[in-house]
Amino acid sequence: MPRKGWTNWRGLEASLPEHQMRSIFKAFDINGDGKLSRKELKLCLKKFGLHFAGLRAWDAIGHIDADGDGMISEDEIDELIKYASKWGLIVTP
């Protein structure tokens, strides 16, 4: 898991390249099933220093989860990365 540059990041005037954002999301697949559950996403958003991580995770999955399994699969991570801008996380190409 990457340790530098984002651990204490609060989303203020900070940005992450897309590939790094993706690897962070993947690192939070704690049970290794290849998908992010709401619980895993919540932990990830907390790590980003976001408030209301649980609500945000709920909201994001509601919008992004295309196949309705309640989790963010690898395909859906692309949408999650786009969604991150709504939380003030700046993603650069």
Binding site for Ca ion (CB under 5 A): 29, 31, 33, 35, 65, 67, 69, 73
Helices (H), the chain: 18-27, 38-47, 53-64, 74-83
The CB-of-64 to Ca ion minimum distance in angstroms stands at 8
Q: Which residues contact 21 (CB under 8 A, 6 or more apart)?
A: 81, 84, 89, 91
**CA-to-CA distance for 67 and 86, rounded, in angstroms?**
22
Closer of 14 and 30 to Ca ion (Cβ): 30
Closer of 69 and 78 to Ca ion (Cβ): 69
The CB-of-73 to Ca ion minimum distance in angstroms stands at 5
The CB-of-46 to Ca ion minimum distance in angstroms stands at 16
